[in-house]
Structure 1
Amino acid sequence: MRQNLSKRSAMTCLIVRVKKLIEQLVKFGVVGAIAFVIDFGLMNLLLAFHVNNVVAATTSFLISLVFNYLASMRYVFVHRDDMARWMEILIFLVSSAIGLLINDLIVWLSTYGMVSGADHAAYTLRTNIGKIIATVVVALWNFVIRKWLLDDTHTHAMAKLGNGKQLSQAELDKRWKNSFSYKLGKWSLEHTPQGWPK
């Protein structure tokens, strides 16, 4: 009887975790879709004025990034009380800079060997294809990094080991306190300059 309750409880916890992850992915997708419209629209507007594709992609990426940060931290991810705001912003900026490099590399490769003025329609089409590929790759990068380092949904997690054994909340807390993410957050609180918001 107890084993059945334990299995049922573990299954319920797993279902709750999966539902929360799906809900978070949907919110991330909506925010990402709006950011993509801003990014893609502005890039094509700049391309229409014959701006270099990497310059256009960088400019549009940076502008959509501001929206993405504000919306992600408000609607998608839960702020961690065990991490200083300056560290949260630093992680977001560093991960976004890496995302920008990925974005620009893919856009540049999409038109490698082409001269921007030679065939503007083909140049724009290849830039747009590159931008779509870059958006998918960067979105995956952003979600993984932000989920790992910035999100606080771990506190509600339940986990199972590979052998089916259920982890207790105490074991989950111990694992969390040994994680890089937790240690980074605690370090940031201890090294926050006086007067800065925590």
Structure 2
Amino acid sequence: MPTRALSSTRLRGLLPELLRFGSVGAVAFVVDVGLFNLLRFGPGHLLEAKPLTAKVVSVAVATLVAWLGNRHWTFSDRRTASRTREFIGYSLVNVGGMVIAVGCLWFSHYVLGLQTALADNIAANVVGLGLGTAFRYLGYRSWVFTGDEEKPVAGVGPVLEPDQVG
């Protein structure tokens, strides 16, 4: 009976996917943090007094950027036949990730009283985003990109467990 533990062979097989996920996430991170700070502290201070609204808007835009990158690059070998179902699932997982980030910001800003630009960025874009990213990756693999994972990506073959190697 094969074990469910993450073997080094399986980890090596996941590494390219994790690197693609990280690259897409880095672009989405720049969009998220840049837009959040632009809305809060940029010209006109559009949402200066509304940090939670600024975070929701920035996450929504970054989500669209990340969905396109993850669908067409990171998980291109696991896409489902229904783009609509996939986008709805992707959006729901991102709402969960956003709730984590906004919850960290809310706790820091309103409960702890840490209301500087630095404190808001650390709460939302370091702690919240870090926890939310882990949640998103697991959610995408488990609930969103659930298509045929046996189709190889260019240069990456199927992941074999040690008991499957001849």
> Normalized against structure 2, the TM-score is what?
0.75
Percent identity over the alignment?
22
Please give the alpha-carbon distance, in whole angstroms, between the structure 2 residues aligned to 1:22 and 1:153: 18
- Structure 2 counterpart SS, 1:157: coil
8 Å Cα contact 1:79-1:151 kept in structure 2:
no
Q: More displaced, 69-78 or 151-160? A: 151-160
Please give the alpha-carbon distance, in whole angstroms, between the structure 1 residues aligned to 2:59 and 2:86: 20
User: What stretches of structure 2 of length at least 5 have no aligned partner?
Assistant: 1-6, 151-157
- Residue 96, structure 1, aligned to residue 94, structure 2: yes
Deviation at 1:104, TM superposition (A): 1.1
User: What stretches of structure 1 of length at least 5 have no aligned partner?
Assistant: 1-12, 161-165, 169-198
- Residue 129, structure 1, aligned to residue 122, structure 2: yes
Deviation at 1:125, TM superposition (A): 1.5
How many positions carry a matched residue from both structures? 145
Please give the alpha-carbon distance, in whole angstroms, between the structure 1 residues aligned to 2:96 and 2:149: 25
Please give the alpha-carbon distance, in whole angstroms, between the structure 1 residues aligned to 2:96 and 2:57: 15
> Normalized against structure 1, the TM-score is what?
0.64
8 Å Cα contact 1:77-1:151 kept in structure 2:
no
Deviation at 1:30, TM superposition (A): 1.0
- Structure 2 counterpart SS, 1:158: coil
Please give the alpha-carbon distance, in whole angstroms, between the structure 1 residues aligned to 2:112 and 2:39: 18
CA radius of gyration, larger in: 1
RMSD: 2.6
Residue correspondence of structure 1 range 1-198 to structure 2 within 5 A: 15=9, 17-48=10-41, 49=45, 50-80=48-78, 83-113=81-111, 122-131=115-124, 132-149=126-143, 150-152=145-147, 154-155=149-150, 156-159=158-161, 166=163
8 Å Cα contact 1:110-1:129 kept in structure 2:
no
8 Å Cα contact 2:13-2:159 kept in structure 1:
no
- Structure 2 counterpart SS, 1:112: helix
Q: CA deviation digits over 1:91-123, x for unaligned, max 9?
A: 1011111112112111111112477xxx9xx52
